[in-house]
Structure 1
Amino acid sequence: MGLGTSGIILLAIVALLLFGPNKLPELGRAFGRTLREFKNGAKDIMGDDEQTDRKTVSAVQADAPSTEPTNNKRLPD
Structure 2
Amino acid sequence: MFGGFGVPELILILIIGLVIFGPGKLPDIGKAFGKSIKEFKSAQSDSEDKNTIEAKAELDEPGKEDK
Which interval holds the TM-score relative to the shorter structure? 0.7 to 0.9
Is 1:12 matched up with 2:21?
no
Normalising by the residue count of structure 2, what TM-score does the alignment of the two structures yield? Answer: 0.82
User: Taking every aligned residue pair, what percent have the same amino acid on both sides?
Assistant: 32
Structure 2 residue runs without a partner (length 5+): none
RMSD: 1.6
SS at match of 1:2: coil
The corresponding residue for 2:4 is 2
Structure 1 residue runs without a partner (length 5+): 65-77
Aligned pairs, how many? 62
Moved over 4 A (4+): none
Q: Provide the rounded CA distance (Å) in 1 between the counterparts of 2:20 and 2:48.
A: 37
Deviations 1:13-51 (A, max 9, x none): 111000000000000000011001100100110011000
Structure number with bigger Rg: 1
Is 1:29 matched up with 2:31?
yes
